[in-house]
């Protein structure tokens, strides 16, 4: 899983600069594919909801029901996932986002749902450290490609420590079709194949409770998979 040799030293700064030029809209968050938002949220709800009931412990071997007190949206943007997925399930949701303009727009976009946001945290995930035992669900969607392999493993390890009892980490991301991770210099990100993601998860000491492919996405975009980790 070696990083491409042409990856610049200013890998994180380049990504930050890229997102600073993206409009603070749903269209901007989804790279011009705003029409998939409903399908995306629906798929995520179907994936997450069973963990919030006792039935899921039979299906996955999870030790107990995931709590509904506190979640965090990593790479939250303007709060599309926070508003539409997490706020309906959790008492309080934190938002972590590297672009301050997105966080500034979030209360406008979210409306009354913003009242359920506990903390707006402006930082990159390579620097974000959850408080130990603080979250029932840590949601990471379309953002982990902006971490190097080493930083991804370290981030997942910190997230593991940040889970409450029975809590889970959810990773939802593009899966590359090549054998190795592919670096995109435009937005300074990796597209990892499934095996590379699974290796990072294993190195972080996590086990996969559940894995699903997101259905009904356009054929022209990458395959997207969801993983529940503990």
Contact indicator for 230, 209 with CB cutoff of 8 Å: yes
Token duo for residue 1: 């899983």
Q: What is the pLDDT of residue 22?
A: 98
**30 pLDDT higher than 50:** yes
- Of the candidates 190, 176, 216, which has an alpha carbon nearest to the alpha carbon of residue 37? 216
| Separate counts of helices (H) and strands (E) for the chain | 8, 9
Domains of the chain by residue range: 11-229
* Rounded-to-integer distance, Cα 174 and Cα 193, Å: 8
Domain 11-229, classified CATH 3.40.50.150, yes or no: yes
Span 47-89, pLDDT tens digits = 999 999 755 454 555 667 899 999 999 999 999 999 999 999 9
**CB proximity list for 158: less than 8 A, separation 6 or greater:** 128, 129, 130
Listed as own residue / partner, the contacts of 42-49 with beta carbons closer than 8 Å and 24 or more positions apart are 43/212, 43/214, 43/215, 43/216, 43/226, 44/81, 44/85, 44/141, 44/170, 44/172, 44/226, 45/85, 47/170, 47/210, 47/212, 47/226, 47/228, 48/85, 48/89, 48/137, 48/170, 49/89
pLDDT by residue (tens digit) across 147-180? 999 999 999 999 999 999 999 999 999 999 999 9
* Paired tokens of 209: 């409770």
């Amino acid at each position: 899983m070696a990083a491409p040799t042409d990856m610049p030293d200013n890998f994180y700064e380049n990504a930050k600069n890229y997102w600073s030029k993206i409009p603070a809209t749903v269209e901007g968050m989804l790279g011009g594919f705003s029409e998939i938002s409903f399908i995306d949220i629906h798929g995520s709800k179907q994936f997450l909801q069973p963990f919030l009931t006792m039935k899921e412990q039979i299906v996955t071997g999870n030790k107990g029901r995931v709590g509904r007190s506190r979640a965090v949206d990593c790479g939250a943007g303007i709060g599309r996932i926070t508003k539409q997925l997490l706020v309906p399930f959790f008492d309080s949701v934190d938002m972590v986002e590297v672009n301050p303009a997105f966080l500034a727009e979030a209360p406008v976009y979210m409306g009354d749902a913003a009242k359920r946001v506990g903390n707006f945290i402006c930082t990159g995930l390579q620097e974000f450290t959850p408080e130990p035992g603080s979250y029932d669900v840590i949601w990471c969607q379309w953002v982990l490609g902006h971490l190097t392999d080493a930083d991804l493993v370290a981030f997942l390890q910190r997230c593991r420590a940040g889970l409450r009892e029975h809590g889970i980490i959810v990773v939802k991301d593009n899966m590359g079709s090549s054998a190795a991770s592919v670096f995109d210099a435009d937005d300074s990100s990796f597209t990892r194949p499934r095996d590379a993601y699974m290796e990072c998860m294993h190195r972080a000491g996590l086990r996969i409770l559940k894995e699903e492919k997101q259905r009904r996405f356009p054929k022209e975009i990458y395959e997207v998979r969801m993983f529940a980790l503990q």
